[in-house]
Structure 1
């Protein structure tokens, strides 16, 4: 039987960990409001669904074992984060003043691509979930853990979206500064991803 009293707080701590997707929710909440950020964040939720399924099928071990596959995903994800960071920095400096804000569709796609470009995510599903799976009901319990994770991830999106929204209201007209901070954060996350290594196995 799944011990949800242990899983939920441990999982929610992972959901709330500050990373590139949560930084996007923070920025979207600041710029366009919590509902926009929540709608965009559904992109990562949908991206996580196949990742959880793959991890449940044991394919997360393939990513962990294959140096080439891990490196390809890592480089693509890092490049995309740095690209987004540079765009935000240019926006913060007025380099894209006059350009319309990102549509919900584009923000949704960005959230999904950032989630898919982080090879550590599927490794978390492959390493964290099995600690709570009931071996006698593997499929059913893994599905329950995955569904719980997605609900908690949605709550985390809302937390960051609200934080960004209220921070922006407090900052008044200082959105260019918020964009610069968000852009710099994306670049830092991209560079950090370049230096991540596969788990030893």
Structure 2
């Protein structure tokens, strides 16, 4: 394998990754509703989900996901349900935890909302249509059949490129949206509004996921 392959994958996928989609909407929603910690966990979860999907495709199991209607439907509705539940919860609890930043208690490492954000983001990342465009359509074109490295191994190694780019992009969205949230944390009415907007984003992504057919 050569550096040209990795640079080619980066050039071919960076614009597609940077265009905001369901994953970005989910992360921004988490940032506005729950703060930077949940948003960054969501970015990590999204990258994990994308990596899982990419590895499945690289190992030849992507056909099961892309061609089995039942599997696709189950994944789609599972992701939609999780998103809607998180969004409704954020809207319903808006304002209950609003307090000045200095007085806000630190969250424990095992905070359940944070874990839920991560797991939900894994589902979002694994079911994002862009993931399948990148890994099933674009990545194979950069595999060198004359290389001594097996094609499957090349796919796995090349998959790291869009995953890293996506993680950096999502983290930037998480920090930016969290900054907007933090800047108004001492204004309770605005904080409630942002939490509700964040919850609304999650519900919107859930609805899009349920209704969209790739």
The TM-score bracket by the shorter chain reads: 0.7 to 0.9
- Structure whose alpha-carbon radius of gyration is higher: 2
Compared with structure 1, are the counterparts of its residues 110 and 55 closer, same or farther at alpha carbon in structure 2 (3 Å cutoff)? Answer: same
- Structure 1 residue ranges, 4+ long, deviating more than 4 angstroms after superposition: 27-31, 98-103
Judged with a 3 Å threshold, the aligned counterparts in structure 2 of structure 1 residues 151 and 75 are, in CA distance, closer, same or farther, namely: same
Counterpart of 1:22 in 2: which secondary structure?
helix
Partner residue, 2:140 = 130
1:107 equivalent in structure 2: 117
Cα deviation, 1:96-153, whole Å, max 9, x if unaligned, reads x25997653333223223334x263552322232232223342342122211122112
Partner of 1:37: 39
CA RMSD after TM alignment: 2.9
Instruction: Return 5+ residue gaps in structure 2 as ranges.
Output: 99-104
Q: Which residue of 1 aligns with 2:204?
A: 188
Q: Does 1:164 align with 2:177?
A: yes
1:18-57 Cα shifts (integer Å, max 9, x gaps):
2343234334445433x66334432233333332111112
Number of equivalenced pairs: 193
Cα separation, partners in 2 of 1:190 and 1:29, compared to 1, 3 Å: closer
Tell me what 2:101 maps to. Answer: none
The CA distance in 1 between the partners of 2:38 and 2:89, in whole Å, is 20
Please list every run of 5 or more consecutive structure 1 residues that lacks an aligned counterpart in the other structure: none
1:86 matched to which residue of 2?
88
Which residue in the other structure is 1:75 paired with? 77
TM-score, normalization by structure 2: 0.74
User: Cα–Cα, structure 1 residues 86 and 29, in superposed 2: closer, same or farther, change >3 Å?
Assistant: closer
Return closer, same or farther for 1:178/1:20 CA change in 2, 3 Å cut-off: farther
> Aligned partners of 2:20, 2:5: CA distance in 1, in Å?
25
2-structure distance, mates of 1:88, 1:160: 19
Alignment of 1:10 onto 2:12 = yes
